Amino acid sequence: MTNTINKVLVTFLPDEVAGEINVGETILTAARRAGVAIDAPCGRRGRCGKCRVRVLSGEISAPASEELSLLQPGELAAGERLACVATVLGALTVVVPESSRNMTRRKGTAALPYPITPEPWTRKICVAVPPADLAQRDFRADLTRLWTALNITEGESEYAAVTALPGALLAGDGTVTVVFAGERLLTVEAGETSAAHYGVALDIGTTTVAGYLVNLRTGAEMGTASLPNPQGIDGADVISRIEYTQRNGERVRKLQNSVIGAVNTILGTLAGEAEISVAEIYELTMVGNTCMHHLFFGIDPATLGHAPYAPVVTAPLTIRATTLGIHAHPQAQLRALPNIAGFVGADTVGVLGASQLATRSGLYCAVDIGTNAEVLIAKNGRVVACSTAAGPAFEGAKITHGMRAQAGAIDGVSITDELTIHTIDERAPLGICGSGIIDAIGELRRVGVIESSGRFTDHDELTDLPAALQARLREGGFALATAAKSGTGNEILLTQHDIREVQLVKSAIYSGILTMLEKLGHTPADLDGLYIAGAFGAYITREHAIGIGLIPNMPLEKLHFLGNAAGAGAKMALLSTHEYDKIITSAAEVGYVELAGDPAFSEHFMYSMELDVDCGE
Ligand code: FES
């Protein structure tokens, strides 16, 4: 009785869907129940302000302290609230603005470094099996005759293959297609089905989960799909997710289920678009940072949260995909690339494969810029790796008007006598994403609006600035879009706080590169090549990445942007056992360097906060 009285309906516009919740729960909880995606990159902590909604009518709690500090009085008066904090007191109608929606992000390309002949771990072979024959005195078992027809010494067969065999022989009139994983017989299908042989490479990022569907017979990539990692609602970064799980098995399972749910959505989308069945997906490979890897497998990541940051497992794992709840062929096999250390995971191993660092002679560096940044340095094929706590600023978190790289995000900025912005899908600007932030800081530094220290220049020193730019100067900020031009109705600002956040991230990355090179007796000037990996890296302007000191100053021809190299590594391992073995072997030889507490790193970090850090040294 009490429960019924306490339940109220929250209606979400413009979707026009409603969800029932208990009085006292948050709008965000109601949205999740109703299937409305609202972004919550700070993990519902009331810190990021990205979960804004507008209350049109109904009973709602008084503004909490988080709302009073993140929302302007005018915004509160207009009904704007933080969905993660504001609690529902009665039936409510709220509008979810586009800028708060958790939408599919811009997809990162995962191009292979060279053409790879398909040689997958799973194989399909069609074969005609002669029946037992009384006249010929052939009383051998069906399974024995199958192996003989294949001309292979009888090996290990899965139980599922044995149970499927009689039905398949009958339905196929003696012709069956067998599926092997390595030398093990996985299953038997009636008739000739060997053309239907697909695999998916999964890249489980902290922020984005991506899948690449590959035809394992031809090697052709048939589609890509990605979704925000739904674990983001319980923490934007690795540390906050480890804190969230707190050695609580139920929470580990909850995060595992949410990411597996996203994987299943991706598989369904990929299969639907390619007009195949998910049951024709026989093999998957997986990469992710060590924490994402552990949560994907339901392994408690608690030990990654404190020194010495030892992972539970680094060895490559193989498991039947359905054991994890993945919707694919019932016998589909999933193989995860190995981790290297607590903060250098299977995603970095993917980058190692795609960048081919282990087979290059000379001095090379690869940096994977995601929510964390991993740095690999290779000298004549000997590879060392480290991780730097970059943080999610380039994913839009902790940035005043930051957002992920999705429709409406400012992803490019250029300045002449006036400011020009570019947005994803050319929509009215809703916020700014990582590549846009780098461009904005780079351009504003170039025209003197930002000093080398990262501080905004005093306005009275900017009298030579063209009038159109002067008009955008604000106290402690710069307007990238005016209220009239923005898609939110509010100005989109780059603030002093945002520049500081970017300086922290870029300094961590740059110092990581410098420290690692120094340990090998080198400077950035000695590098024969620098590879930037990460979906975000594909969209940044090289000059500005160097100009703000994100990466070392070097000739542009030595700088290579790989896109999603972690995903490319997973694709390589999926396409070919030879590539898989090569990647595993080189990963086993990578040396790990811990930068936490390293005095050289701390020294470089302070120095590298400058935007005009002298990168060539
Ligand atoms: S402020 Fe609500 S999720 Fe961050």
| Tens-place pLDDT, residues 192-232 | 999 999 999 999 998 889 999 999 999 999 999 988 899 98
Q: Which of 80, 81, 84 for mutating ligand 1's site (highest number of atoms within 8 Å of CB)?
A: 84
Q: Compute the distance from residue 192 Cα to the ligand 1 centre, in Å.
A: 53
Residue 85 alpha carbon, nearest atom of ligand 1: 2
On whether the CB atoms of residues 411 and 436 are closer than 8 A, the answer is yes
In whole angstroms, give the CA distance from residue 373 to residue 557.
22
What pLDDT does 513 receive? 95
Neighbours of 166 (CB within 10 A): 12
Q: Which of 27, 29, 51 for mutating ligand 1's site (highest number of atoms within 8 Å of CB)?
A: 51
Neighbours of 115 (CB within 10 A): 7
What pLDDT does 107 receive? 47
Indicate if ligand 1 lies below 6 Å from the C-beta of 52.
no
Residue from 366, 373, 372, 391 nearest 590 by CA: 366
Q: Compute the distance from residue 367 Cα to the ligand 1 centre, in Å.
A: 30
Q: Give the residue, by CA position, lying nearest to ligand 1 atom 1.
A: 46
Q: Which of 38, 48, 100 for mutating ligand 1's site (highest number of atoms within 8 Å of CB)?
A: 48
Q: Compute the distance from residue 70 Cα to the ligand 1 centre, in Å.
A: 10
Q: Compute the distance from residue 405 Cα to the ligand 1 centre, in Å.
A: 18
Residue 82 alpha carbon, nearest atom of ligand 1: 2
Strand partners, 255: none
Here the tokens at position 607 are 């120095």
In whole angstroms, give the CA distance from residue 387 to residue 286.
20
Q: Compute the distance from residue 84 Cα to the ligand 1 centre, in Å.
A: 5
Indicate if ligand 1 lies below 6 Å from the C-beta of 236.
no
Indicate if ligand 1 lies below 6 Å from the C-beta of 42.
yes
Q: What is the DSSP letter of 100?
A: G
Residue 42 alpha carbon, nearest atom of ligand 1: 4
On whether the CB atoms of residues 168 and 190 are closer than 8 A, the answer is yes
DSSP string, 509-533: HHHHHHHHHHHTT--GGG-SEEEEE
On whether the CB atoms of residues 550 and 511 are closer than 8 A, the answer is no
* Category of 486 on φ-ψ map: left (φ > 0), alpha (ψ -120 to 50) or beta: beta
Q: Which residues of the chain have pLDDT under 70?
A: 1-5, 35, 41, 43, 102-108, 391, 537-538, 614-617
What pLDDT does 489 receive? 86
In whole angstroms, give the CA distance from residue 448 to residue 429.
24
Residue type at position 144 = T
pTM of the model: 0.80
Indicate if ligand 1 lies below 6 Å from the C-beta of 84.
yes
On whether the CB atoms of residues 402 and 432 are closer than 8 A, the answer is yes
Q: Compute the distance from residue 37 Cα to the ligand 1 centre, in Å.
A: 13
How would you classify the pairing of strands 7-13 and 221-228?
A: unpaired
Q: Could you give the angle at the alpha carbon of 341 between the alpha carbons of 340 and 345, nearest 5°?
A: 60
Indicate if ligand 1 lies below 6 Å from the C-beta of 530.
no
Indicate if ligand 1 lies below 6 Å from the C-beta of 50.
yes
DSSP string, 296-364: HTT---GGGGSTT---S--S-EEEEGGGGT--S-TT-EEEEPPP-BTTB-HHHHHHHHHHTGGG-SSEE
Residue from 38, 105, 41 nearest 398 by CA: 41
Q: Compute the distance from residue 85 Cα to the ligand 1 centre, in Å.
A: 8
On whether the CB atoms of residues 554 and 125 are closer than 8 A, the answer is no
Residue 47 alpha carbon, nearest atom of ligand 1: 1
Q: Compute the distance from residue 38 Cα to the ligand 1 centre, in Å.
A: 10
Q: For residue 423, what are the CA distances in angstroms to 410, 418, 477?
A: 4, 17, 20
Q: Is the peptide bond before 308 cis (omega within 30 degrees of 0)?
A: yes
Q: Compute the distance from residue 346 Cα to the ligand 1 centre, in Å.
A: 30
Here the tokens at position 341 are 């250390």
On whether the CB atoms of residues 11 and 94 are closer than 8 A, the answer is yes
How would you classify the pairing of strands 80-82 and 122-128?
A: unpaired
Q: Compute the distance from residue 40 Cα to the ligand 1 centre, in Å.
A: 5
Q: Which of 27, 32, 38, 45 for mutating ligand 1's site (highest number of atoms within 8 Å of CB)?
A: 45
Indicate if ligand 1 lies below 6 Å from the C-beta of 49.
yes
Return the axis-axis angle of helices 142-150 and 159-171, rounded to nearest 10°.
80
What pLDDT does 235 receive? 81
Residue 49 alpha carbon, nearest atom of ligand 1: 1
Q: Residues 546-569: pLDDT tens digits? A: 889 998 988 878 888 888 899 999
Q: Is 3 exposed, middle or buried (0-12, 13-18, 19+ CB in 10 A)?
A: exposed
Q: What is the 3-state secondary structure (H, E, C) of 172-189?
A: CCCEEEEEEECCEEEEEE
